[in-house]
Structure 1
Amino acid sequence: MIRVGEILYTNVHPFFFYMDREKLSAHSHFIPSIPARLNVAMSQGEIDVGAISSFAYGENAENLVLMPDLAVTSHGSVGSIFLFSKVPIEELDEKKIALTHSSATSIHLLKIILQRFYGHRSIVYTTMMPVYQDMLAEHDACLLIGDDAIQASWREQGQMYVYDLGEKWYHFTSMPMTFAVFAMRKQALEAEPGALRALYHDWKQSEEQARVNGYEQLAQSVVKDHGGDVGFWQGYFQNLQYRFGRKEQRGLLHFYRLAYEEGYLPRDVDHLSVWDSDIGIHSIN
């Protein structure tokens, strides 16, 4: 049985919304959780495949293989990863920032942006539960991701300085940013290639169907769970990119390079291991 990690955020919903779970249940068991927990589960061998934070792949690249052309990326605004600040971003040095405990990629992306692009190297960071009011009670800014970030942006519009990290990354690098990748453990690929191939095709087909339908049915479902309106959620999904082509790969490798230079990764991840069902695993530099 393949253990499948399923991120509990709307940004990956297009991959899961139209999946034939009944058919896949013959060989796959789905484990829903937040990205940070799935990252740990993948590194400890508790799940075999699924969407994880792109930073988590960088930490464990020697044991993982990426599925082709499946990712959550943005070419600019991502719409669900926000820094909320009481002061302009240029004035955050020597201030205190609360970080969500839910993700690895966004935390390190924020630190890279503030350190490399703004020169802020004296910020005090605290990781905590993603509760907006608690985070800002004793901090000058807070980082939220996913549905927590979206709902906070609705409430705080015009009340705080709000910065989209995807937009900031693109402004300074002119590169896409990849926030989540679909990875599998090498041992699982050796043991269950057929089951993983079936999962890959269902993920790909679900995303394509959601896109062809203009994300309307998906948006209607999300409104019931998270509020907002159909138009907002359609625009949100349409703004994101769900491919992982050469541009996205180059952007991710650049992120890894900066993370290594800043001391956040123990080694320089200078290539990506990507699976191809026809030719096997190949390296992308």
Structure 2
Amino acid sequence: MKPSGSPRTRLGDISFLNCAPIRWGLSDSGAAHGIDVISAPPERLAAGLLAGDLDISPVSLVRYLRHADDLCLLPGLAIGSDGPVRSCHLVSRGPLEELDGRVVALSEASRSTALLARMLLEDAIGVRPVYRALRRDALGHDPGGVPRTAGAAVVIGDDALRLWADAPGGLTVHDTGEMWRNWTGLPMVFAVWAVRRTFAQDHPDAVAQVGAALTDAVRRARAHPREVAAAAAREARGSSAGAFGEGVLLDYYRALDYSLGDRQLAAIQEFSERAAARGEVPAPLSARIPMPARIPILGGRT
């Protein structure tokens, strides 16, 4: 129990369907009643965490890497895949090998997928596109998420899941989780649960309780996949995501991986080294925070 007078922990929740299983698990256990859950898109959650408006939140991997001195990871939890992820795509009008010099629209909703797409295009495929930022509201009614002036676009979240389920004619959906796995042999970690380091130091019991509740939520969701898919379908119908079939969601949640084990930590290290080589993060984690695991896990720097 939290001591009388202690503030309620403010927990971020990605408002996309990728976190619907965790919402279901927190509700099933009753743990959601003991914390303040704030739902928003990933970048808004990251801004809130860094500003001190949230205590614990999922954030894109890039956001974490850029602020690893101020944040630590909640153990055991991430959002990723060991192969296709179904909801983080490069969507193109033609072969990716023909994108040299052409415009690729990058989603502002997730910095991790945008940077991953650049790595894949430039380093794995060997093309040099011209990148343009793309706001979600700029798509209008374009069902494919690729502006007419672009050869390809990065699309994430519920929009990407819909494209995977039913891609419009003339477009090819390239799953970035699958592309990364084929390129590196590693799973891809798109987001992690991060804790403000000062909050972790001041409220270790609260952090441990939330971490246990989230881990339990994942376990519960994995044990009841059809109930989770049905609940997510109901949630989608009442939101901007729109209707999704339960079968689509069931397949989606089988693809998602919420674990943060040794292979995922190795993937984070690999991504950080590639990002640092591009100047996208200050330095690889191993250079910035020396430790046996090379990753700043909750509990300090050792």
The aligned length equals 276
* Residue 259 (str. 1) matches residue 275 (str. 2): yes
* Residue 202 (str. 1) matches residue 208 (str. 2): no
Letter of the structure 2 residue corresponding to residue 65 of structure 1: C
Which residue in 2 is equivalent to 1:126? Answer: 132
* Residue 81 (str. 1) matches residue 104 (str. 2): no
For 1:219 and 1:154, the matched residues in 2 are separated by 15
CA offsets per residue over residues 33-72 of structure 1, 9 Å max, x none?
Answer: 1111112222222211111111111000001111111111
Letter of the structure 2 residue corresponding to residue 150 of structure 1: L
Which residue in 1 is equivalent to 2:285? Answer: 269
For 2:177 and 2:223, the matched residues in 1 are separated by 25
Which residue in 2 is equivalent to 1:239? Answer: 255
Task: Indicate how the Cα distance of structure 1 residues 282 and 208 shifts in structure 2: closer, same or farther if over 3 A, else same.
Answer: farther
TM-score, L = length of structure 2? 0.86
Which residue in 2 is equivalent to 1:162? Answer: 173
CA offsets per residue over residues 192-226 of structure 1, 9 Å max, x none?
Answer: 2222211111111111011011x111101222214
Looking at secondary structure, tell me which structure has more strand per residue: 1
SS at match of 1:65: strand
Flag structure 2 segments of 5+ consecutive residues without an equivalent. 1-6, 237-241, 287-293
For 1:59 and 1:236, the matched residues in 2 are separated by 29
For 1:51 and 1:127, the matched residues in 2 are separated by 23
For 1:265 and 1:23, the matched residues in 2 are separated by 35
Which residue in 2 is equivalent to 1:281? Answer: 300
Q: CA deviation at 1:12?
A: 2.0
For 2:179 and 2:168, the matched residues in 1 are separated by 18
Letter of the structure 2 residue corresponding to residue 281 of structure 1: G
CA contact (8 A) 1:16 1:203 kept: no
CA offsets per residue over residues 151-202 of structure 1, 9 Å max, x none?
Answer: 2334425431210000110111001110110110011112222222111111
For 1:66 and 1:138, the matched residues in 2 are separated by 39
Answer with 67-76 or 124-133: which moved more. Answer: 124-133
SS at match of 2:10: strand
Superposition CA RMSD, Å? 1.8
For 2:297 and 2:222, the matched residues in 1 are separated by 24
CA offsets per residue over residues 245-264 of structure 1, 9 Å max, x none?
Answer: 00110011101100110121
Letter of the structure 1 residue corresponding to residue 274 of structure 2: L
For 2:251 and 2:106, the matched residues in 1 are separated by 27
Which residue in 2 is equivalent to 1:111? Answer: 118
Flag structure 1 segments of 5+ consecutive residues without an equivalent. none
Q: CA deviation at 1:266?
A: 2.2
TM-score, L = length of structure 1? 0.91
SS at match of 1:139: coil
Q: CA deviation at 1:77?
A: 0.6
Answer with 201-210 or 217-226: which moved more. Answer: 217-226
CA contact (8 A) 1:128 1:135 kept: no
CA contact (8 A) 1:49 1:185 kept: yes
Q: CA deviation at 1:19?
A: 1.0
CA contact (8 A) 1:112 1:262 kept: no
Q: Percent identity, aligned pairs only?
A: 27
For 1:105 and 1:136, the matched residues in 2 are separated by 21
Task: Indicate how the Cα distance of structure 1 residues 196 and 136 shifts in structure 2: closer, same or farther if over 3 A, else same.
Answer: same
Q: How does 1:18-167 map to 2 (within 5 A)?
A: 18-20=25-27, 24-26=32-34, 28-121=35-128, 123-130=129-136, 131=139, 133=142, 135-167=146-178
For 2:99 and 2:23, the matched residues in 1 are separated by 38
For 2:66 and 2:296, the matched residues in 1 are separated by 13
Q: CA deviation at 1:31?
A: 1.6
